[in-house]
Copies of this chain bind each other. A is one copy, B any other.
């Protein structure tokens, strides 16, 4: 069997089975970031994200600044989706020796702009020759011990929310989005969020990940889902990757409190798009015509 046939999820599952973790690991593979007890009064979050030329960006369609920005933003978005704060970054860069140094300056300026904005320390890295540009950033974050919001916490009856507008990111947003860190922190500080993920592979697949991890089903309402005016179609809006919006669930009571008192203060639009159901109710989308579609969770995958 080839990697292409196994797919990204198959590959990760294969690897996960062989791993043994000690008790200091709260969450290993299978969430936005790993969660580690460490020796301190907070949990550590640990995540990495690899950006490869011609897979995640084209050299001619992205400025060096945008390449660096995107590499950093994706990682910060993962920390945000855990309810945490990013703190320390390492930058591995595979670079074509024929590139001008100004190109590297640009990439780094993009990384550094976000580092400054979110007070992240860039503490090291590695450089190597490479024909295709490869930027792999790893990030350590922190979260209060009661804090980390896992994918696995969704409960029956939870309201499902999403920030911003979905789809069409490929037309530009994927290169210059600001990770929803401030909104995520405001959320977890003021409300009990049961589960959260950042939408990197499309709403349908990423919600599927929450449902799988939580052992639940869901009902989504097409009418309520905020498609971007950049999206070509509703289908594209809910399956296209790289939105980097927050998708989260809360108990009905908490959701009511959130909507009444707070949703306007997050600095970002928030939409209620459906509810978590029991697993045997399945994963369904109610269309504008009130017809039901079963969702299988297909989204953007990397192989």
Contacts and interface: CB of A to CB of B under 8 A. Distances in A.
Interface in A217-262: none
A123 B11 CA distance: 15
B134 A52 contact: yes
Interface string A92-111: 11111111110111001100
Contact of A132 (B12, B130, B302): B130
A49 B126 contact: yes
Given A18-B112, A22-B119, A94-B134, A101 B6 contact: yes
A125 B29 contact: yes
A121 B22 contact: yes
Contact of A38 (B38, B138, B303): B38
A134 B50 contact: yes
Interface in A57-108: 87-88, 90, 92-101, 103-105, 108
Contact of A48 (B29, B116, B124): B124
A46 B124 contact: yes
Interface residues of A, number: 80
A82 to B, nearest CB: 12
Contacts of A121: 19, 21-22, 24-25, 28, 36
Interface string A7-51: 010111011001111101101110001101011111010111110
Nearest to A124: B34
Contact of A97 (B4, B97, B101, B142): B4
A19 B122 contact: yes
Nearest to A6: B101
B36 A142 contact: no
11 contacts: A18-B112, A21-B121, A22-B119, A29-B124, A34-B123, A36-B123, A44-B88, A46-B88, A46-B90, A49-B92, A126-B136
A253 B12 CA distance: 52
A96 B162 CA distance: 34
A303 B40 contact: no
A97 B48 contact: no
Nearest to A109: B18
A126 B50 contact: yes
B34 A88 contact: yes
A123 B45 CA distance: 10
Sort A-B residue pairs by CB-CB distance and give the 3 closest, nearest first. Answer: A39-B40, A34-B123, A40-B40
Given A108-B15, A112-B18, A128-B52, A123 B46 contact: yes
